[in-house]
């Protein structure tokens, strides 16, 4: 029974992490669009491939402060 409970807890944690990843990606793209206009498909696809919350956090900060999409792309590629 304990194994089942641990499995449920792990499943919930994984679901929350996936939700956090998805929300961070959407926030980044929303900020880029609001500040800089249309986001190229290649940039959007690259953001959607990121699966590390720490990297997404850095990208979110960059999206809010970058001077241009080119500068953001450099951060994304780093």
Q: How many domains does the chain have?
A: 1
Give the per-residue pLDDT at 18: 78
Give the per-residue pLDDT at 57: 95
Give the per-residue pLDDT at 12: 61
pLDDT tens per residue across all 78 residues of the chain: 776 666 665 666 666 677 899 999 999 999 999 999 999 999 999 999 999 999 999 999 999 999 999 999 999 996
Work out the end-to-end distance of the chain between its first and last CA atoms, rounded to an integer number of angstroms: 45
Give the per-residue pLDDT at 61: 97
10 burial (CB, 10 Å; 0-12 / 13-18 / 19+) is exposed
- Contact between 60 and 31 under an 8 Å Cβ cutoff? The reply is yes
User: pTM (2 decimals)?
Assistant: 0.81
Domain containing 45 equals 2-77
Q: Alpha helices of 2-68 — where are they, by DSSP H?
A: 2-36, 41-49, 53-65
């Amino acid at each position: 029974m304990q194994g089942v409970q641990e499995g449920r807890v792990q499943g919930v944690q994984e679901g929350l992490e996936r939700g956090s990843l998805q929300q961070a990606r959407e926030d980044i793209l929303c900020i880029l669009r609001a500040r800089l206009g249309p986001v190229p498909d290649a940039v959007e696809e690259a953001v959607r491939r990121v699966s590390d919350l720490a990297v997404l956090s850095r990208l979110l900060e960059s999206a809010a402060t970058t001077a241009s999409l080119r500068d953001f792309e450099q951060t994304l590629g780093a």
